[in-house]
């Protein structure tokens, strides 16, 4: 443990480590998936999960695991990543296979909402989040590498379909989540191994880009907040979920069953179940946490 702590201190100068390498009991919720990503809780007992390489979305209810929608029978879907369930009952998804944001009805019927900006196709839409007004924000990475500054973040007004470019020149922007009040947004810049924050004004515009935290190796991927605004980060390649305080201090580093956790999502009746998608084992796991997850700004919960 002392050696691990020393290594962590050497590689994370920005982070103050309170506790590391926590071993927790994991429950396997689903297996046999194909690069699982984008877990989304609907507040009704259902968890939806993308199988990025398989071209389908899985629906998990209690111990029942079924295929919800499949690209082989749906022309308006190919390879989804980030998902979120809106309080209108629809699932909104980033489909990097067709470079689009799609909407999927509760019956599993999909349609393309937007697929281009200034007459150019989106790159690879990755993850998404809604603000309090119902505007949709999503990350749009392209190439991977610290020197590949071609990633972007967009905002979409779903009523008018107006698309606004909010940030560019990013190194593979990935997971995205709003703070509790909605006045800040957090984005994993995976190729830089860091989490960025932007201030968000009443019009939805970004300002004050700041590095919130840096992680050692691996890629910060998906993220979610609890009600105390602690940030849970899936550390793809690092084999862990980090829990950071609002001051960017490491509260816990939870070692995952595989080395490639891709995303996290709170759910359960009391929002104290943390679901983790893991791509080395191609499974979805759950753990029980003490602090409930923060409900999303347009969550059906």
Look at 40-44, 116-120, 294-298 and tell me which has the smallest mean pLDDT: 294-298
Does 250 have pLDDT greater than 90? Answer: yes
Does 221 have pLDDT greater than 70? Answer: yes
Q: Got the DSSP string for 83-94? A: EEE-TTS-EEEE
Q: Give the DSSP H/E element, type plus range, for residue 60.
A: strand 56-61
Share of the chain above pLDDT 70, in %: 91
Whether this prediction's pTM lies above 0.85 is answered by yes
* pLDDT confidence of residue 300: 63
* pLDDT confidence of residue 301: 58
* pLDDT confidence of residue 18: 42
Does 19 have pLDDT greater than 60? Answer: no
Q: Is 130 helix (H, G, I), strand (E, B) or coil?
A: strand
Task: Write 130-134 long-range contacts (CB < 8 A, 24+).
Answer: 130/84, 130/86, 130/92, 130/178, 130/296, 130/297, 130/298, 131/178, 131/182, 131/200, 131/204, 131/297, 132/182, 132/297, 132/298, 133/204, 134/158, 134/298
- In our burial notation (b when 16+ CB lie closer than 10 A, e otherwise), range 26-55 reads beebbeebebbbbbbbbeeebbbbbbbebb
* pLDDT confidence of residue 4: 36
CATH number assigned to the domain with residue range 1-30+222-301, chosen from the 4 options 1.10.10.60, 2.120.10.30, 3.90.1200.10, 3.55.40.10? 2.120.10.30
Among 244, 226, 233, smallest CA distance to 289 is for 226
Q: Tell me the two tokens of residue 166.
A: 């909010």
Q: For residues 265-294, give the mean pLDDT.
A: 98
Q: For residues 16-42, give the mean pLDDT.
A: 84
Q: For residues 23-51, give the mean pLDDT.
A: 96
Among 82, 63, 89, smallest CA distance to 301 is for 89
Q: For residues 244-259, give the mean pLDDT.
A: 97
Q: For residues 257-264, give the mean pLDDT.
A: 98
Averaged pLDDT score across all residues of the chain:
92
Pick the more confident residue, 216 or 281: 281
Pick the more confident residue, 296 or 97: 97
pLDDT tens string 66-110 = 999 999 989 999 999 999 999 999 999 999 999 999 999 999 999
In sequence order, the 6+-apart residues with CB closer than 8 A to the CB of 32 are 282
Rg of the chain, C-alpha, whole Å: 18
| pLDDT bucket at 299, cuts 50 / 70 / 90 | low
Does 22 have pLDDT greater than 80? Answer: no
């Amino acid at each position: 443990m002392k050696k691990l702590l020393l290594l962590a201190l050497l590689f994370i100068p920005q982070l103050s480590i309170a506790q590391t390498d926590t071993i927790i009991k994991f429950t396997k919720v689903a297996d046999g998936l194909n690069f699982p990503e984008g877990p989304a809780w609907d507040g009704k007992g259902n968890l939806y999960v993308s199988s990025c390489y398989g071209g389908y979305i899985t629906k998990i209810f209690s111990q029942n695991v079924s295929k919800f929608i499949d690209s082989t029978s749906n022309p308006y879907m190919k390879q989804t990543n980030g998902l979120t369930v809106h309080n209108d009952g629809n699932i909104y998804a980033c489909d990097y296979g067709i470079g689009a944001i799609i909407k999927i009805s509760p019956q599993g019927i999909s349609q393309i909402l937007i697929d281009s900006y200034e007459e150019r196709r989106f790159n690879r839409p990755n993850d998404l989040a809604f603000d309090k007004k119902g505007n949709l924000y999503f990350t749009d990475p392209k190439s991977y590498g610290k020197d590949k500054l071609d990633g972007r973040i967009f905002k979409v007004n779903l009523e008018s379909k107006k698309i606004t470019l909010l940030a560019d020149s990013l190194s593979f922007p990935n997971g995205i989540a709003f703070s509790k009040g909605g006045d800040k947004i957090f984005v994993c810049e995976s190729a830089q191994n860091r989490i960025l924050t932007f201030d968000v004004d009443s019009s939805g515009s970004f300002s004050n880009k700041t590095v919130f935290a840096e992680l050692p190796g691996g890629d910060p991927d998906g993220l979610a907040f609890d009600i105390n605004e602690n940030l849970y980060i899936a550390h793809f390649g690092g084999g862990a979920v980090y829990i950071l305080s609002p001051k960017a201090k490491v509260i816990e580093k939870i070692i995952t069953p595989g080395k490639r956790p891709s995303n996290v999502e709170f759910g359960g009746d009391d929002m104290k179940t943390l679901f983790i998608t893991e791509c080395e084992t191609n499974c979805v796991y759950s753990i029980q946490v003490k602090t409930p997850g923060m409900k999303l700004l347009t969550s059906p919960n």
